[in-house]
């Protein structure tokens, strides 16, 4: 299993600003992902955070808007850049502690509101 801590848990931001979300895991994990969940919707995969290299982004998400860092196997950050109200969402960090079956563990999420 894995325990995931995300910071901040929630924030209210002004349009045009940027916010960095941190994800800390209590153990080393190979696979780490960032998801977005808009109100009343399912989760959308933003990117796979790769340790020591550039993240792999899903269609519709770009590095300039959502830069991701993964300096080691226990930590990652996601920045939401130049925010607009459409970026208001919950951002979730998830990991797969073991590689055999792909069971995902999630943090509690970071709820962003952009005014």
Partner 1 sequence: LAKTTQPISMDSYEGQEVNITCSHNNIATNDYITWYQQFPSQGPRFIIQGYKTKVTNEVASLFIPADRKSSTLSLPRVSLSDTAVYYCLVAGNTGGFKTIFGAGTRLFVKA
List interacting residues with partner 1 (CB under 8 A). 4, 31, 33, 35, 42-45, 48, 90, 92, 94, 96, 99, 101-109, 111
Please report how close the Cβ of residue 24 comes to partner 1 at its closest, in angstroms.
14
Please report how close the Cβ of residue 32 comes to partner 1 at its closest, in angstroms.
11
Strands 31-37 and 68-72: unpaired
Please report how close the Cβ of residue 85 comes to partner 1 at its closest, in angstroms.
20
Give, in degrees to the nearest 5, the angle at Cα 43 between 52 and 89.
Answer: 90
| Rounded Cα–Cα distance for residues 79 and 53 (Å) | 16
Please report how close the Cβ of residue 86 comes to partner 1 at its closest, in angstroms.
20
Residue number with CB closer to partner 1 (13 or 45): 45
Please give the C-alpha separations between residue 21 and each of 35, 45, 69, 99, 112, in angstroms, as whole numbers.
Answer: 12, 16, 10, 25, 10
Strands 105-106 and 75-80: unpaired
Residue number with CB closer to partner 1 (14 or 102): 102
Residue number with CB closer to partner 1 (13 or 104): 104
């Amino acid at each position: 299993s894995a325990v995931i801590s995300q910071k901040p848990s929630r924030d209210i931001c002004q349009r045009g600003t940027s916010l960095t979300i941190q994800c800390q895991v209590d153990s080393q994990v190979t696979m780490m992902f960032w998801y977005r969940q808009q109100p009343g919707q399912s989760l959308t995969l933003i990117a796979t955070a790769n340790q020591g290299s550039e993240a792999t982004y899903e269609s519709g998400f770009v590095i300039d808007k959502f830069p991701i860092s993964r300096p080691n196997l226990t930590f990652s950050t996601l920045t939401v850049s130049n925010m607009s109200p459409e970026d208001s969402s919950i951002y979730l960090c998830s990991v797969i502690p073991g590689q055999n079956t792909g069971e995902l563990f999630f943090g509690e999420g970071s709820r962003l509101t952009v005014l």
